[in-house]
Amino acid sequence: MNSELEAEPPAAHKRPHWALVVIAAVFVPLLVLGVLELGLRLAGVGYSTDLLVPCTIRGTPANCYNLFFAAPFFPAGMVQTPRLYAIPATKQPGTYRIFVLGESAAMGDPDSAYAFSRYLEVMLRERYPSLKFEVVNTGSVAINSHVVLPIAAGLASQQPDLFIIYSGNNEVVGPYGAGTMLTSAGMSMPLARASMLYHSTRIGQFLTKLGTQKQEWRGMEMFLDKQVPLTSPSMKYVYANYEQNLRETIAVARKSGAKVIVSTVATNLRDCAPFASLHKEGLKQDLLNSWTMLVQHGDSLENANSPAEALKQYLAAAKIDDDYAELEFRIARSYWSMANYKSAREHFSRARDLDALRFRADSRINEINRSVAGSFANGVALVDAEKILSDASPDGIIGGEFIYEHVHLTPEGGYLLARAMFQQVAKNLSPDAAGNSDPVSEADCERFLALTRYDRARLASEMLNRLQKPPFTTQLNHSEQLFRMAAKAQSPDELPNDTAALYQWAIARDPDDAMLRLRFGTFLYAYNRAAAAEQMALAQPWDGYPVFLPDGTQIR
C-alpha cells in the first residue's frame, strides 16, 4: 500500500498552479500589448491625447491646447477644435483664473469674440482693476459631457479658481450619444469609457487608421437620419451618462480647489420650430388620415389669421397623436397669437422636447443641471440661464432676440448670461479684492469688445448662410427665420473709418487682447492688407504657431 502511495504523482503535478494560469491568461497578453504600445510610441506612431502640450508665449513657458486631444471623439478628417488657447505655466500673484466648459454655445459660436465669457471678462476687468482675470474659454463645436469631463481633468492642474459649465445641447448628437454619427451610438457609460481609452492608445489609433477613411465635416445636416424620439429606450443612457459626467466634472473641479458655476442651457423656443417630427408608434392609417386632415384644416385657418379656430383643429389632432413635435409647435403658436403666453410656453417647450433631431438641451437636461448643482453642499452655484432669458423676454418665452437660431446666443443673450455670471463670481472673490459689484452696462461692454455695426451685420450674414442649409430648411417657420436674419444682415450704416476708430479705441484700452486684434485685422483686410497682417501677427502670441490672413495666406 505504501508503494502505491509513493507511486502516485503529487497533486501539484496534475495541473498547473492557479497563479501560472492567471499569468498565462492575463499578464502575458497585457505584457505583449504593453510592449506593442511602447514600440508604437517609440516609432512615432499615433499622437498624445493629453489636453495640453508645452508651448511658449513670447518666450514665456505656457501650456497650449493639444490639437490631437479631440481626435478620439471624431472620425478622421472631422476633428473639431476650440479657439486655440494657452495658459501661462506660472500663475502670477493677484490672478483669478476661470475656465469655461461646454459646447459651441459656450464657445460663443458664430464668433467667440462675443461669447458670454468675453462679456464676463470685461465686467471683471473693469470692476476689479486690482486683480488680473484670465478667462479661458475651452468650448468647442459638437462635443458633449463625455468630452467636457476629460477637459476639466486636464485643466485641474492649472491652478484654477473657477470652472463655469454651460453644457447639455449635444448629449444626443455628440460623441456616444443616442443620435450621433461621430462614434458608436447610445452606449452605456462603461462601454463609452472603454472606447475612449482604446482610442487614446497608439494601438487603437493605429488600428482605427487602418480601418477608416477620412470624412468631411458638413455640420448639422450630417445628422438628418439620426432621429431619436423622446420615448426611445436609448434616452435613459443619455440622461444617466450626462448626470454622471456632470457630477464627475464638478468633483474634479472641486478637488482642484476651484469653485464651480453650473448653468442651465437657454434654447430658442418661440422662433425655432422642431427640426424633425415622428408620429406615435403604432398609429393606424385611418387615424393618421384623420390627424392629417385636422392639421391641414388648422393650417388653413392659421394662415387666414384665425388662431382660435386653428387651435381647435390642432387640439383635436393632438387627441389622436400628441407625440408629433411640429403639431405642438403649431398649438404653441396659436396660443401665442391669442396672447395666452403661459400655455404657449408649455407647448413650445414640449415641441422642443419632442424634436427628433435633438440639437437642443431638453427639459430633462436642465432638470439635471439644477438638481446636480443643488446636490453639492458648498462651492457649487447655479446660474439659471433658461429662467434669466425667459424673464427678460417680453412674453416670457425665449426667442430670436436672445438666440440666433436654436442654441447660439446673440450678443444680447450673451450679455445677460455674463451679467448673472459676474454676480456669482463677485461673491467668490476675496473680501480684500477692492471693486464694484455693479455689472458694466451692455453698451459699455460692446464698446470694450468693439462690437460694431459692421460686426453685427457680419454675424447675421454668417447665420443667414447657415439657415439656408438643412436641417433649417425643413422647419415650419423657415421663411420667417430667413426674413428676420436677412434684415439684420443688411449692410451697416457705419463708415469704415468709424468702424476702425471703434477698434482702435478698444485696443488702446487693452493692447494685449488678441481677439480684438484678430477681428480688427479681419476688418482691415478689405482695405489695407499690410495693416491687417500686422494686427493678425500681434493676435498670435504663441511662439512657433503660424499666422494666416483671411484668404489663407501664411504670413508667419
Residues 124, 56: Cα–Cα separation, whole Å: 26
Q: What is the mean pLDDT of residues 409-435?
A: 91
Of residues 68, 41, 65, 69, the one with CA closest to residue 55: 65
CA angle 215, 105, 463 (to 5 degrees): 75
In a domain, 327, yes or no: yes
Cell of 243: 448626470
pLDDT at 26 over 70: no
pLDDT at 535 over 50: yes
In a domain, 225, yes or no: no
**Confidence tier at 551 by pLDDT (50, 70, 90):** confident
268, 296: one domain: no
294, 413: one domain: no
Cell of 24: 498565462
Q: Do residues 482 and 469 make contact, with C-beta atoms less than 8 angstroms apart?
A: no
Q: Given this model, what pLDDT does residue 430 score?
A: 76
Q: Given this model, what pLDDT does residue 543 score?
A: 79
Tell me how many domains the chain contains: 3
**Quick check: helix, strand or coil at residue 166?**
strand
pLDDT at 42 over 80: no
Residues 344, 423: Cα–Cα separation, whole Å: 31
In a domain, 506, yes or no: no
Of residues 163, 190, 185, the one with CA closest to residue 174: 185
Q: Given this model, what pLDDT does residue 34 score?
A: 73
Residue indicated by cell numbers 480684500: 432
Residues 135, 163: Cα–Cα separation, whole Å: 10
Q: What is the mean pLDDT of residues 208-221?
A: 81
Q: Given this model, what pLDDT does residue 37 score?
A: 65
Q: Given this model, what pLDDT does residue 444 score?
A: 98
Q: Around Cβ 112, how many Cβ atoms within 10 Å?
A: 17
CA angle 221, 226, 227 (to 5 degrees): 110
Residues 414, 226: Cα–Cα separation, whole Å: 30
pLDDT at 206 over 90: no
259, 396: one domain: yes
Q: Which amino acid is at 352?
A: R
Name the domain boundary from 354, 375, 404: 354
**Quick check: helix, strand or coil at residue 207?**
helix
pLDDT per position as a tens digit, 464-501: 999 999 999 999 999 999 999 999 999 888 999 999 99
Q: Given this model, what pLDDT does residue 4 score?
A: 45
198, 295: one domain: no
pLDDT per position as a tens digit, 368-408: 999 999 999 899 999 999 999 999 999 999 999 999 999 99
Q: Which domain holds residue 23?
A: 2-42
Q: Given this model, what pLDDT does residue 129 score?
A: 92
Q: Given this model, what pLDDT does residue 288 score?
A: 98
Cell of 365: 437636461
Q: What is the mean pLDDT of residues 438-445?
A: 95
In a domain, 437, yes or no: no
pLDDT at 187 over 90: no
Burial of 57 (0-12, 13-18, 19+ CB in 10 A): middle
Q: What CATH number is given to the structural domain containing 406?
A: 3.40.50.1110
35, 57: one domain: no
Q: What is the mean pLDDT of residues 81-99?
A: 94
Q: Do residues 288 and 296 make contact, with C-beta atoms less than 8 angstroms apart?
A: no
Mean of the per-residue pLDDT values for the chain? 92
Q: Given this model, what pLDDT does residue 18 score?
A: 72
Q: What CATH number is given to the structural domain containing 322?
A: 1.25.40.10
Q: Which residue has the higher pLDDT, 207 or 34?
A: 207
**Confidence tier at 22 by pLDDT (50, 70, 90):** low
179, 77: one domain: yes
**Confidence tier at 10 by pLDDT (50, 70, 90):** low
pTM of the model: 0.92
Residues 428, 263: Cα–Cα separation, whole Å: 16
365, 350: one domain: no
- CA 288 to mean position of chain CA atoms: 37
Phi then psi for 37, rounded to 5 degrees?
-60, -45
Name the domain boundary from 398, 417, 451: 451
How does DSSP classify residue 23?
Answer: I
In a domain, 98, yes or no: yes
Q: Given this model, what pLDDT does residue 463 score?
A: 98
- CA 455 to mean position of chain CA atoms: 22
**Confidence tier at 223 by pLDDT (50, 70, 90):** very high
Q: What is the mean pLDDT of residues 130-143?
A: 96
26, 128: one domain: no
Residues 329, 317: Cα–Cα separation, whole Å: 13
158, 128: one domain: yes
203, 331: one domain: no
In a domain, 477, yes or no: no
Cell of 215: 470624412
Half-sphere exposure of 268 (CA within 13 A, CB side): 22
Residues 74, 146: Cα–Cα separation, whole Å: 12
Cell of 299: 393650417
Q: Do residues 517 and 507 make contact, with C-beta atoms less than 8 angstroms apart?
A: yes
pLDDT at 93 over 70: yes
Q: What is the mean pLDDT of residues 115-140?
A: 96
**Any bridge partners for residue 256, and if so which?**
none
Residues 546, 556: Cα–Cα separation, whole Å: 5
Provide CB contacts within 8 A for 404, sequence distance 6+. 110, 268, 410, 459, 463, 485
Residues 455, 516: Cα–Cα separation, whole Å: 12
Q: H/E/C letters for each residue in 32-88? A: HHHHHHHHHHHCCCCCCCCCEEEEEECCEEEEEECCCCCHHHCCCCCCCCCCCCEEE
pLDDT per position as a tens digit, 318-369: 999 999 999 999 999 999 999 999 999 999 999 999 999 999 999 999 999 9
171, 79: one domain: yes
In a domain, 479, yes or no: no
Residue indicated by cell numbers 445677460: 416
Of residues 162, 387, 350, 151, the one with CA closest to residue 256: 162
Name the domain boundary from 337, 354, 371: 354
In a domain, 441, yes or no: no
Q: Given this model, what pLDDT does residue 5 score?
A: 44
201, 78: one domain: yes
Of residues 326, 369, 367, the one with CA closest to residue 350: 326
Neighbour-count burial for 375-395, b at 16+ CB within 10 Å, e otherwise: ebeeebbbbbbbbbbbeebee
DSSP secondary structure string for all residues of 416-467 = HHHHHHHHHHHHHS-TT-----SPPPHHHHHHHTT--HHHHHHHHHHHHHHH
pLDDT per position as a tens digit, 247-302: 999 999 999 999 999 999 999 999 999 999 999 999 999 999 999 999 999 999 99
